[in-house]
Amino acid sequence: MSVPGSKLPNWPARRHEHKRPRESRLHPARDPSTPGTRPTGDHRENRYRRLIELCNDGILLVRQEHVVSANRAVAALLGFQDPQQMTGLRFDEALQAEAGSPPLAPPWEDDEADDTWHGQLRGEHGMLFDAEVAFSPYPDPREINACMVVVRNLSERRRVAAAIEGHDDYLTHITDAVPVLIAYIDRDERYRFVNSAYENWFGRPRAEIVGHALGDLLGDVYAELKPHIRTVLRGERTAFEVTLSCEHGTRHAFAVYTPDMDDEGAVRGFSSMVMDITERKTTEHALLEREQQLRLITDVLPVLVLRVAPDYRVRFLNRAAADRFGTAPEHAAGETLAEVIGHTAFAGVRQYLDAALGGSGQEQEVCLPLRDGEERFMHMMCVPELDDAGMVQGAVVAISDTTQLRHAEALLHQREREFKTLVENSPDIITRIDRRMRHLYANPAVAKLGGPEASAYLGKTKAELGLPPSVVRAWDDAAAAAFASGREHRLDFDHVVDGEMRYFSGRVVPEFDRYGNVESVLGIAYDVTQRARMEKERDELLARERSARIQAETAARARDEFLAVVSHELRAPLNGIQSWSHVLENYVQEASAPLAQRALQGIKTGVAQQVRLIEDLLDVTRMMSGRLRLVKQPVALLPVLQAAVESVRGMAAAKRIHLSCNYRIATEQIDGDSDRVQQVFWNLLSNAVKFTPEGGHVWLTAAYAERELIVTVRDDGIGVRPDFLPHLFNRFSQEDTSSTRGHSGLGLGLFLVRHLVELHNGKVAAESPGENQGTTFTVRLPLHIPLESYAVRDALAPESTGHLSLPSLQGMRVLVIDDQAEARESLAALLTNAGGRVTTANGGEEAIAWLCEAEPDAYPHILVCDIAMPGEDGYGVLRRLRTWKDAHGHTPLRRMPALALTAFAQREDRIRALTAGFQMHLTKPVAPEELIVVLDTIADRH
């Protein structure tokens, strides 16, 4: 197969004639070194050699049947690694034709041979390939038996032969395959050829570019390119960078303009090769920015960074290194490392630097003396700096000052020792736990949990150590919460140790690694048993205090309510007494008149009510102080009940209440005080009558059952609310304490009932279905058991319950001192009627004045004195009388007995009176009989 136009003319054998080669359609460019002149033979040979080296086809220069020169393409095609290996080979050694191929010989050996040979050659690894060998005359006509041989691999070429038609198409195909803008422009600056890259760049088809002027296509950038166009049209090659606008925006380009000259050296045009370097420019800019950033980073790093050449000269050092070694970066560059850091310091680091310059990286902690003589601990890292070929070009040294770190580590070790000493001797339980709840550490105080010693904890969980589930759960829950949240959590648990419940409290604190993850937790627990007990006692004390406060507040309210009731109950009878007294004083002329009798009865009733109220109050006081005494003896209950019933029958009749009694007892007795027992049932019956509406019914039942007597008082009255029933027997307890209440009383009756019944070893209970459904009281009293003595008798109590026989005060001189005239007069009348001789005084001064005037036979035998008096109380009066001296200097009254008659009724008042020298203490109002008996008793004793 022959290529059109490729056949060369016949060569005369061994003639020194050389035919001129055919001219190419594209004229070769003239050598720019000699513009305007024809190239010489040497120049032409050099140019051919350069073209041969750049050509993609395999080309050999053969002289005298031996290869003189070969390009890389033919060496690679024929299996040689280097073109120099082919130099000197015989032609048939270099090109080994297959046996079945036509003979292959240079044209001077076979005049009839064609200029082109087709056959198979042996190539790389002995592989055969279809080849085309073309012979051309040697460029130098002086050479004889020399030629240029072009070797082409037709195996690849045949695959694209169908797509290539003609030399122009082949050229176009090649230029289109190059990612470079290629164009040919004539002297008139018009496009004659452009490749597809040029079309794509400007976004126009080739037909709209070829034939048009350069300025029409380039637009404004033409003015910038004009100087370079002038240069190339002068025959000079020019290369430059330019910024162009294209279909894809503004791009950076590198352009090479190469002039095309004819044989005469005239410029026919020029070729333009433009490469898009936008990405390279971007990369260069990025690299520049990165270099600046790197310098900035190294300058702000606290690490000393140096680049050192193999001859120990400093190529670079950052700001930190320059400051540390007392130099400037621009001054240190080029100096030796010893000059920069000092010869002593250089001697200490040289061995590590030499290792890095030898290709081995080094990392070491060294102690370097600085120029000022101070020694610093430094962590030094030396790594080799390699070029693209892997050869060592120097070393990079990074040095960080670890002196403070060394000191900090030493301090840390000291603190760790101190901490360990503290923890090991701490009374608190301290443990460190990992994520699997296994112990990393436990101090000796863990023995307080009653488990094994601290050494047994390592690597084990609390469950594996056999601790109680409650302890395990408390620790593990707190640790899990700390691991999950990364926050501190409280720890509270209790545990029996050595048979005693112990209470523990503490906290679990997370410990973090350098990445901020919870690595372990530290648990601290301390024994708070004592504190827990104190807190419990405090809570109990607070509860008691609150209860006491509530009780006090309740008592205060009850007191206020009681005082209001007392005020009302005392004022009501006083109003009647005052009214009847007024009637007697102003309207009644004769004491025997019926109105006078009615008035006296009203006054007597009012006084009785007052006395009753005061007696109830006194009984309550005696009960609360433990001074209420009973005169117990066998008492038949039936007469007592009957007497109580008769005492309330009038009240019942006034309200038309039917009173029914059912006595199923006869002579049964109880051990008790008949007056107090009668008081119990009088209170119950009077309450029943009081709280039963007119026309109602009250029942009393007495029966015997199993060594006790049961008395029931039932009514069909107003009843009791269920919520008030538990408070019915409390002091001052009244269901209605308002000013509009429908019933009078102090709320003491049922309290006295309960207390008196209990003093008789009995029980009392109340039942009520509810409001307006009546109430039932049941009293249970134990029967009298014979042959046992129950006499617990008050010193002032009479020996029997029958009629009292009062002693006479005949001949007894009595001095009565009271600031109230009515009290003095009433007492004087009472004691005078009893046979006594009475002298009265309103206070101590009046009594002393009388004594000074009286005769010795008129001096009193006994003193009756009030306590609360204006000016001087009874205690002072008694002291003055007993120390009073008569005209002879004697103290005739020093042994005079004295009776305190006062309204102060508390136990403390009685004790104070006796301590002050009084022989007896009586509370107002006092029964006349009791007063006479007491005076007679005191007088007998003294």
Give me 163's structure tokens.
């797509």
Query: Domain check: are 159 and 170 in the same one?
Result: no
CA quadruple 262, 265, 266, 267: dihedral positive or negative? positive
HEC states along 465-490?
Answer: CCCCHHHHHHHHHHHHHHHHHCCCEE
Query: Domain check: are 608 and 655 in the same one?
Result: no
Q: Please answer whether residues 692 and 660 qualify as being in contact, where contact means their C-beta atoms are separated by less than 8 angstroms.
A: no
Burial 737-772 (b: 16+ CB within 10 A, else e): beeeeeeebbbbbbbbbbbbbebbebebebebeeee
- Residue 28 CA to chain centroid, in angstroms? 88
Q: Please answer whether residues 445 and 429 qualify as being in contact, where contact means their C-beta atoms are separated by less than 8 angstroms.
A: yes
Query: Domain check: are 312 and 379 in the same one?
Result: yes
Q: Please answer whether residues 493 and 474 qualify as being in contact, where contact means their C-beta atoms are separated by less than 8 angstroms.
A: yes
Q: For the domain that residue 831 is a member of, what is the CATH number?
A: 3.40.50.2300
Total structural domains within the chain: 7
- Distance, in Å, from the CA atom of 821 to the CA atom of 827, rounded to the nearest integer, reads 10
Q: For the domain that residue 556 is a member of, what is the CATH number?
A: 1.10.287.130
Cis upstream peptide for 860 (omega within 30°): no
Does residue 873 sit within a domain? yes
Q: Please answer whether residues 701 and 664 qualify as being in contact, where contact means their C-beta atoms are separated by less than 8 angstroms.
A: yes
Query: Domain check: are 690 and 722 in the same one?
Result: yes
- Distance, in Å, from the CA atom of 34 to the CA atom of 42, rounded to the nearest integer, reads 13
Residue span of the structural domain in which 774 resides: 629-782
- Strands, DSSP E only, in 219-341? 238-246, 249-261, 267-276, 304-308, 314-317
Which of 90, 97, 94 is CA-nearest to residue 63?
A: 90
- Distance, in Å, from the CA atom of 697 to the CA atom of 715, rounded to the nearest integer, reads 6
Looking at residue 744, its pLDDT comes to: 45
Burial 703-724 (b: 16+ CB within 10 A, else e): eeeeebbbbbbbbbbbbbeeee
Q: For the domain that residue 200 is a member of, what is the CATH number?
A: 3.30.450.20
Q: Please answer whether residues 239 and 273 qualify as being in contact, where contact means their C-beta atoms are separated by less than 8 angstroms.
A: no
Type and span of the H or E element at 503: strand 500-512
Query: Domain check: are 638 and 775 in the same one?
Result: yes
Which of 743, 747, 753, 745 is CA-nearest to residue 732?
A: 747
- Distance, in Å, from the CA atom of 368 to the CA atom of 365, rounded to the nearest integer, reads 10
Residue type, 203: G
Query: Domain check: are 445 and 538 in the same one?
Result: no
Cα three-residue angle 769-650-742, rounded to 5 degrees? 50
Does residue 792 sit within a domain? no
CB neighbourhood size of 175 (10 A): 20
Query: Domain check: are 647 and 768 in the same one?
Result: yes
Q: How many residues does the chain have?
A: 942
Taking each helix axis from N to C end, the angle separating 529-586 and 594-625, rounded to the nearest 10 degrees, works out to: 170
Q: Please answer whether residues 30 and 261 qualify as being in contact, where contact means their C-beta atoms are separated by less than 8 angstroms.
A: yes
Query: Domain check: are 777 and 633 in the same one?
Result: yes
Cα three-residue angle 77-81-84, rounded to 5 degrees? 100
Does residue 71 sit within a domain? yes
Question: What phi and psi values does residue 893 have, to the nearest 5 degrees?
Answer: -105, 10
Taking each helix axis from N to C end, the angle separating 928-941 and 821-833, rounded to the nearest 10 degrees, works out to: 70
Residue type, 770: G
Q: Tell me which residue has tokens 């101090």.
A: 443
Does residue 793 sit within a domain? no
Neighbour-count burial of 196, counting CB atoms closer than 10 A to its CB (0-12 exposed, 13-18 middle, 19+ buried): middle
Give me 582's structure tokens.
């007024």
Q: For the domain that residue 713 is a member of, what is the CATH number?
A: 3.30.565.10
Q: Which residues contact 155 (CB under 8 A, 6 or more apart)?
A: 129, 130
Domain boundary among 573, 598, 627: 627
Query: Domain check: are 221 and 308 in the same one?
Result: no
Query: Domain check: are 196 and 144 in the same one?
Result: no
Does residue 758 sit within a domain? yes
User: Pseudo-torsion of CA 285, 290, 293, 299, nearest 10°?
Assistant: -120
Q: Which residues does the chain have with pLDDT short of 50?
A: 1-38, 163-164, 737-745, 787-803, 941
CA distances from 790 to 202, 227, 759 (A): 140, 151, 12
Domain boundary among 120, 146, 163: 163
- Distance, in Å, from the CA atom of 663 to the CA atom of 676, rounded to the nearest integer, reads 20
Do the strands 658-663 and 697-705 form a parallel or antiparallel pair, or are they unpaired? Answer: parallel
Query: Domain check: are 436 and 483 in the same one?
Result: yes
Alpha helices, H only, 126-260: 154-160, 166-177, 196-202, 214-218, 222-233
Three-class secondary structure of residue 630 per DSSP: coil
Percent of the chain with pLDDT over 90: 22
Residue type, 777: F
Looking at residue 28, its pLDDT comes to: 37
CA distances from 551 to 238, 545, 589 (A): 117, 9, 56
- Distance, in Å, from the CA atom of 255 to the CA atom of 181, rounded to the nearest integer, reads 9
Helices H / strands E in the chain, number of each: 25, 32
Query: What DSSP character marks residue 789?
Result: -
Do the strands 362-369 and 375-386 form a parallel or antiparallel pair, or are they unpaired? Answer: antiparallel
Give me 50's structure tokens.
């350069």
Q: Tell me which residue has tokens 């008081």.
A: 679
Neighbour-count burial of 103, counting CB atoms closer than 10 A to its CB (0-12 exposed, 13-18 middle, 19+ buried): exposed
Q: Please answer whether residues 506 and 525 qualify as being in contact, where contact means their C-beta atoms are separated by less than 8 angstroms.
A: yes
- Distance, in Å, from the CA atom of 905 to the CA atom of 915, rounded to the nearest integer, reads 15
Give me 592's structure tokens.
């025997």
Q: Please answer whether residues 628 and 759 qualify as being in contact, where contact means their C-beta atoms are separated by less than 8 angstroms.
A: yes
Does residue 871 sit within a domain? yes
Does residue 619 sit within a domain? yes
Q: Tell me which residue has tokens 């006296």.
A: 600
Q: Give residue-wise pLDDT tens across range 157-191.
A: 666 555 445 556 667 777 888 788 899 999 999 99
Domain boundary among 581, 603, 627: 627
Looking at residue 730, its pLDDT comes to: 77
CA distances from 445 to 202, 470, 490 (A): 87, 19, 19
Does residue 317 sit within a domain? yes
Type and span of the H or E element at 840: strand 837-841
Query: Domain check: are 489 and 444 in the same one?
Result: yes
Question: What phi and psi values does residue 512 have, to the nearest 5 degrees?
Answer: -105, 150
